Amino acid sequence: MKYGFIFTGSDPTLAVELAVLAEQSGWDGFFVWEGIWAVDPWSTLAAAAVVTERIRLGTMLTPVPRRRPWELAGQTMTVDRLSGGRVILSAGLGVPEDVEARFWIFETDPGRRVRAEQLDESLELMQELWQGEPFEHSGAHFRAARTEEMLPPPIIQQPRIPTWVVGVWPRLRSMRRVVRYDGWIPNYAPPGATGVAGPEAQQVHYTPEVAAEAIAWLHAERSAAGLADRPFDVVQEGTTTGTDAAADAALVRPWAEAGATWWLDSNWQVPADEVADYARARVAAGPPSPTR
């Protein structure tokens, strides 16, 4: 199990400070959120990259269909090179307009089906873009004409920047997208439900037992696809205290036993004016590892 901290605030200077503190305090990863009309996460992570040496850096998460894939490829490549190959890309469809209108103030939600198409095509296109070599692409949503000029440098990590993808269990079309990449960010649709469970319902219904079933399915599908020998992560997000080591370890342990490989600590309920103090204290306390 590796341990990451998600900074839920918006101050980029504080985020860079926390990334350094996280590395000093034994965390394995530091993540920031990505919004629409918000602090740019990749600029923040670029700054964090040059003042850290070990910790992995990423977003939680990037709404890939809302981005131009060539711009996202350039940003992630830049941070990958600045960090010496420590970037993770967390990719999802983005929140629907009927769930959070704030994220759709500049455009209209084309719907889940179109966003899913854009996610698939963007991720495929970025595989080429990250290599910094001539290629061409003609798809339903994007095109790329071949060029031999002004090519960017390639990413350091190969064959790609590790890409964690949101997948809704047990919706197989969604989960088969996850199979092709490098990690699973779980969402859960309980049997009989009309949609994905919200955050509170997820905490009730998405249990380590459900996770173990989904993880077994993922590993079987990856084996059938010839991907069993490639690294694959399973993410679990939650909130630990940083003050009660036994309770924190007890919270994380069932997820590790189910097959999760990353615990991401976050608390999205902390008021904005308290985020700085909370984040400094929680990061300094270190990860909820049973070996600490």
**Residue 25: left if φ>0, alpha if ψ -120 to 50, beta else—which one?**
alpha
pLDDT recorded at residue 292:
62
pLDDT recorded at residue 15:
98
For the chain, domains (ranges, CATH) are: 2-285 (3.20.20.30)
Q: What is the mean pLDDT of residues 241-263?
A: 97
The Cα 181–Cα 179 span in angstroms is 6
Q: What is the mean pLDDT of residues 226-251?
A: 97
Per-residue model confidence as pLDDT tens digits over 112-136: 999 999 999 999 999 999 999 999 9
pLDDT recorded at residue 197:
61
pLDDT recorded at residue 290:
77
**pLDDT surpasses 90 at 201:** no
Q: Are strands 262-265 and 233-238 parallel, antiparallel or unpaired?
A: parallel
**pLDDT surpasses 80 at 291:** no
Of the candidates 10, 104, 262, the residue with the CA atom closest to the CA atom of residue 252: 262
Report in angstroms the alpha-carbon separations of 162 from 91, 102, 142.
Answer: 10, 29, 22
Per-residue model confidence as pLDDT tens digits over 265-283: 999 999 999 999 999 999 9
pLDDT recorded at residue 39:
97
pLDDT recorded at residue 199:
67
pLDDT recorded at residue 289:
87
Q: Residue 211 half-sphere exposure, CB side, CA atoms within 13 Å?
A: 24
3-state secondary structure of 242: coil
Per-residue model confidence as pLDDT tens digits over 138-192: 999 999 999 999 999 999 999 999 999 999 999 999 999 999 999 999 999 988 7
Per-residue model confidence as pLDDT tens digits over 56-108: 999 999 999 999 999 999 999 999 999 999 999 999 999 999 999 999 999 99
Q: What is the mean pLDDT of residues 210-220?
A: 98
The Cα 255–Cα 186 span in angstroms is 12
pLDDT recorded at residue 192:
73
Give the confidence band of 194 by pLDDT, cuts at 50, 70, 90. low
Residue ranges of alpha helices (H) inside the chain are 12-24, 41-49, 69-83, 112-129, 172-179, 199-205, 208-224, 245-258, 275-285
